[in-house]
Amino acid sequence: MAVSPALRTAEVIAVGSELLGTTRIDTNSLYVTEQLSAIGIEVRSKTVVGDDRQSIADLCRQALQRADVVVLTGGLGPTDDDLTRDAVADVVRRPLVEQPAIVERLAARFARRGMSMPEINRRQAELIEGAVLLENPHGTAPGQYLEQDGRTIVLLPGPPRELKPMFAAFCEHVLGSRAGAHRIYRTSLFVTGRSESHVDEAVQPHYAAWRREPLPIETTILATPGQIELHLSLRSDDAAAAALRLREASATLARVLGPDVFSTDGRSMEEIVGALLRARGWRIAAAESCTGGLMLSRLTDVAGSSDYVVGGAVLYSNELKTSIGLVPPELIRAHGAVSEPVAVAMADGIRQQTGAEVAVGITGIAGPGGGTELKPVGTVAVAVVAGDGPARVRTFSLPGGRTQVKFNASQGALDMVRRALGG
Amino acid sequence: MAVSPALRTAEVIAVGSELLGTTRIDTNSLYVTEQLSAIGIEVRSKTVVGDDRQSIADLCRQALQRADVVVLTGGLGPTDDDLTRDAVADVVRRPLVEQPAIVERLAARFARRGMSMPEINRRQAELIEGAVLLENPHGTAPGQYLEQDGRTIVLLPGPPRELKPMFAAFCEHVLGSRAGAHRIYRTSLFVTGRSESHVDEAVQPHYAAWRREPLPIETTILATPGQIELHLSLRSDDAAAAALRLREASATLARVLGPDVFSTDGRSMEEIVGALLRARGWRIAAAESCTGGLMLSRLTDVAGSSDYVVGGAVLYSNELKTSIGLVPPELIRAHGAVSEPVAVAMADGIRQQTGAEVAVGITGIAGPGGGTELKPVGTVAVAVVAGDGPARVRTFSLPGGRTQVKFNASQGALDMVRRALGG
C-alpha cells in the first residue's frame, strides 16, 4: 500500500433504525470522537441512518467524498436487517467473502456455551474483499476495515462494550501511525455557585484572546446539572508545549473565577469532597429532608467512600425530624420545618447520633406543591458543621422542577462542605 | 401554493460544532422525532454538522433530495458562527431580507430588560425571502420555514426550551393538516427481574407474527438500567382500531411475561410503588446500607411523595446499623453485615423507629472492594415488611460496577415492595 498523507478528518455513521426513534440515542460517536481526537483526527459530521441498504450506501459514498476516515457503527449482527457489510461492499464494488477461520471461531464461541452456531451467524464471517479483520472478544460480530482510494473505512459493532476495546486498539495500532504528529490535548474546569452567563462574562475576554493566538485554544462552556463546565482543547505536535499552555490557561481561569472552581482535573463534586475528608481523616453524616437521601447516595457513589461516610437519616416527616433527628419540636413550630435554625438542629442532631466530624442538615421545598409566598418552591436551607468550627448555614433559592431542585440542593450542600474543609 | 401530496418523510440536521465534541450530544432530534411521528411523518436520518456554511448547505441540499421535510436545529444565534440562515439561503438561492417588524420586537425585548439591542442581533431579524416567521417567546432567535419545490424546510433555534414550543405549534398548525390521515400510535411495557435475552426469547414469536400482519406492529426491546423496555408502535389512519390493536398486543405481552411486567403506561418503578402505597393509605420507611439512600431518593423524586414517604436511615457503618437501625450487634457478628437476618433486622428496626406500615432493609457489597469468595461484589440482601405479612427476604447477585449495583439493588428492593403490595 502506498504511503498516504496524514489523516485529518473523519465522519461517523451510526446504523440502526432503533436510533431514529424517540427512546434511544447514538452515544458510540462520543467514544469514537474521543479516540479520534486523541490522535489528532477531527470528526466533521455524524449521521444516524436506519437499517436500509441503499441509504447506508448513499451516506457512506457521500462521506468518502469529504473525509479521510469513515467510521460506521452497528448493523453487523447476524439478522436480515444487519446491512452495513452489504452496503459498504456496494460502495466499494467488491464482493463479500466468507472466511472459514472466522466461521470456525464463531462456532467455537457457541460451543463453549454448549450451543451449536445458528446458520444465520455465518453472515458475520463475511469480510469485504481486501478488508482486514478486527477481532471481537466480547461478542459475535467481528469488525473490519479497508482502504479505498486513499480513504479508510471502518465497520464496528454497535454494542458499546464490543465497540470500545475494538476501536481503541484500531486507533492505537492502525490509525495512530498514519495520523501525523498532531494530537488534541484537553483540560477542563468545573464551576459551581454561578450562573452560566456570569461565568461566560468572566471568561470571554480570555477565550477571545486565546482563539487568536498562534497556538489557538478551542473553548466551550457547558451548563450541566449543578455545575458549569469549561472545556479547553489544543491541537499541537508538541506534547510538552501543549500541556504547559493548557496549565497556564487553566490557572488563569481558576484565578478569574476564584473558589467557585471546584475541580480542575475532571473529578466530580462527590469525589472532591471525599478526597478532602480522606485527607483530614474525618467522617461525614447527614440529615436530609427535601433531598430524600440524594446527597448521601452521591457521596457513596465513590469507590472506597465507606472509609469516610458514616451514614445518616432521611427525615422526610416532621415526626422523624424530632425522633431520629433530635430537632426540638418547638423549633419547628417557631420557624417552620424549612428554616435555617431547623437545618442547624438537624446537622447538630445527626452529629450527636453518629459522632461524625462533619455533619450536614438539609431542609427545603422541592415542589411542585408545598410552596408559600414567603418560602416558594426551591427554598432550601442547608447547615454544615465541621470539626470545632461554627455552623455554616445558607438558604438557597433554586430554580427548576422537583428533581432539579433536589440535585442542586445536594450540590449546594456538598459545595458548602467543600468550602468548610478548605477545598 | 398548490396542494402538495401528503408529507411522509423527514430528515433532521443539528447544527453546532459543540455537538461534534465529546461532551455534548444532540437531544433535540428526539423531540422533533416524537412530534413528527405523532403526525405520521417518519424521520429517515439525522445528522450533526459543525458551524460551517458550506457543510450545512451540502447536507441540506442532499436531505432535500430524499425527504419531504428537512428540519434544521441550531445556528440561529446572533454571532459570526451562527450560519444556518445563510446556508439555507444559499441552497434555495434566495436572499436574506431584514424584517423591520422583527428588529422592533427584538429591540423591545432588550428594552424590557433595561438594555439596548446589540447591533449583531439584527442578523436574527433576517428571513429568507418567502419564508414565514415562527415566533420565539422564549429567546431572541425566531424560527422560520419555507417551501421549495414541494419540500418544506424548517429552521429552529437550538435551545430546547425555545425549540420545543415553537416546533409543537408548527407541527400542529402547519404540518399537521398536510401530513395525511396516518398517525403513529405507541405503547410500552417495562419489565424487571429478567435478563434481556430471557425477555427476548419470550416475546420474539409474537413480535415476528405482528410484523407480518396487515397492520404491522413495529417492536423494539431496550435494556435500560434496572429494566427491559418493550416499545410497540403502529401506523394507522384509524385511531380507534390502532388503540384496540395495541391494547391487545400489550395484554398478550403482559400475559406472557406475567408479574415481571411492572408498568404498561410508561410510569417508572417509583411512581408505580408510590401509587400502590397511596391506594392503601400506607407509608414507607427504609434502612439502606449499600444503596446509600438511593432508594428513598428515587421514591422522593415523585411529586406528592411526602404523603407516603416517612423517611429512614442510611446505615453505612456497622455502629449506625446498631444505634439508629436497632440491629443487635450479635446478629451482625453471627451472620455478617451483608446477610438476610441483618436485612430483616434493619427493616424491623426502621419500622419500629418510624411506625411506617411498610419497611425496607437493604445491605450489600457495591464494590469494587469488600467482596469475599462467599459474598462477592454485587451480593445484596433485601428485606421487606408490609402490614401484618411475614418479612419477605431475598439475596440478589447483581452484575456491573458500583453505581450499577446500587441502582439495581434499589430497583430490586422497590420491585419487592411492589409485589408485597400486590402490584
- How is chain A split among helix, strand and coil, in percent rounded to 5? 45, 25, 30
Better pLDDT: A348 or B181: A348
Nearest-CB residue to A294 (from B22, B293, B355): B293
Q: Using 50, 70 and 90 to split pLDDT, how confident is the model at A194?
A: confident
Q: Which residues pair with A235 in a beta bridge?
A: A184
Closest CA to A366 of A321, A324, A399: A399
Q: Which residues sit opposite B221 in a β-bridge?
A: B230
HSE at residue A380, side-chain half, CA atoms within 13 A, is 28
Hey, of B12, B13, B22, B35, which one would you mutate to test binding to chain A, going by the most A CBs within 10 A of its CB?
B22
Average pLDDT score over residue span B77-96: 93
* A2 pLDDT more than 50: no
The rounded distance, in Å, linking the Cα atoms of A73 and A153 is 11
Contacts of B62 in chain A (CB under 8 A): 62
The answer to whether residue B208 scores a pLDDT higher than 50 is yes
Q: How many CA atoms lie within 13 A of B86 on its CB side?
A: 14
CB-based contact A384:A347 (threshold 8 Å): yes
* pLDDT at residue A4, rounded to an integer: 56
pLDDT tens profile A73-101: 999 988 878 999 999 999 999 999 999 99
Q: What global pTM score does this model have? A: 0.86
Residue A150: left if φ>0, alpha if ψ -120 to 50, beta else—which one? left
* DSSP three-state, residue B380: strand
Residue A174 gets which letter from DSSP? I
What does the pLDDT read at residue A282? 98
**For A126-162, what is each residue's pLDDT tens digit?**
999 999 999 998 888 899 999 999 999 999 999 998 9
- Cis check for the bond before A214: say yes or no (omega within 30 of 0): no
Query: Is the CB of residue B417 less than 8 Å from the CB of residue B410?
Result: no
Whether a cis peptide bond, with omega within 30° of 0, leads into B368 is: yes
Average pLDDT in the B47-65 region? Answer: 95
**pLDDT tens readout for residues A224-268:** 888 999 999 898 889 999 999 999 999 999 999 999 999 999 999
Higher pLDDT, B235 or A320: A320
Instruction: Give the closest-approach CA distance of B296 to chain A in angstroms.
Output: 6
User: In 3-state terms, what secondary structure has residue A140?
Assistant: coil
Q: B9-178 with B269-420: one CATH topology?
A: no
- The hierarchical CATH code for the domain A183-263 is 3.30.70.2860
Adjacent-strand bridge partners of A154 = A71, A145
Q: How far is CA B175 from CA A229, B153, B242, in A?
A: 38, 11, 22
- Does residue B101 surpass a pLDDT of 70? yes
Single-letter code of the amino acid located at A383: A
Q: Measure Cα distances from B204 to B192, B235, B242, B260 in Å.
A: 17, 20, 21, 17
Determine, for residues A20 and B45 on separate chains, whether the beta-carbon distance falls below 8 Å: yes
Say which of A20, A309, A313 has its CB closest to residue B43: A20
* pLDDT of the residue at B1: 42
Closest CA to A326 of A315, A336, A338: A315
Instruction: Place B235 in a pLDDT band, splitting at 50, 70 and 90.
Output: confident
Q: Tell me the chain B residues in contact with residue A366 when contact means C-beta distances shorter than 8 Å.
A: 300
Least confident of A343-347, B182-186, B274-278, B307-311: B182-186
Average pLDDT over residues A344-356: 97
Q: How far is B30 from chain A (nearest CA, A)?
A: 5
Contact B33 A20 (CB under 8 A): yes
A247, A251, A257, A263: CA torsion to nearest 10? 50
CB neighbour list of residue B231: distance below 8 Å, 6 or more residues apart: A21, A23, B186, B187, B188, B219, B220, B222
Lowest-pLDDT range, A126-140, A193-207, A303-317?
A: A193-207
Residue A223 predicted with pLDDT over 90: no
Q: Report CB contact under 8 Å: A324, B319.
A: no
Domain ranges of chain A: 9-178, 183-263, 269-420
Q: Specify the pLDDT at position A13.
A: 98
Q: What gap in Å lies between CA B285 and CA B288, rounded to an integer?
A: 10
Cell of residue B312, nine digits: 429512614
Q: Band of the pLDDT at A1, cuts 50, 70, 90?
A: very low
Nine-digit cell string for A96:
463479500
Residue B2 predicted with pLDDT over 50 = no
Q: What is the DSSP string of A199-266?
A: HHHHHHHHHHHHHTSSSPEEEEEEEETTEEEEEEEEEES-HHHHHHHHHHHHHHHHHHHGGGEEESSS
To which residue does cell 408548527 refer?
B170
What mean pLDDT value characterizes chain A?
93
Q: Which three cell numbers stand for residue A216?
A: 489557538
pLDDT recorded at residue B256: 96
Cβ separation of B313 and A312 shorter than 8 Å? yes
CATH code for the structural domain at A9-178: 3.40.980.10
**Averaged pLDDT, B364-376:** 94
Q: Which amino acid is at B2?
A: A
Is-contact B381 B363, C-beta < 8 A? yes
From the options 3.90.440.10, 3.90.950.20, 3.30.70.270, 3.30.465.10, give the CATH code of B269-420.
3.90.950.20
Exposure class string for B184-197: b at 16+ Cβ within 10 A, else e: bbbbbbbbbbbeee
Reply yes or no on whether the pLDDT at A383 is more than 90.
yes
Q: Is the pLDDT of residue B265 over 60?
A: yes
Average pLDDT over residues A284-289: 98
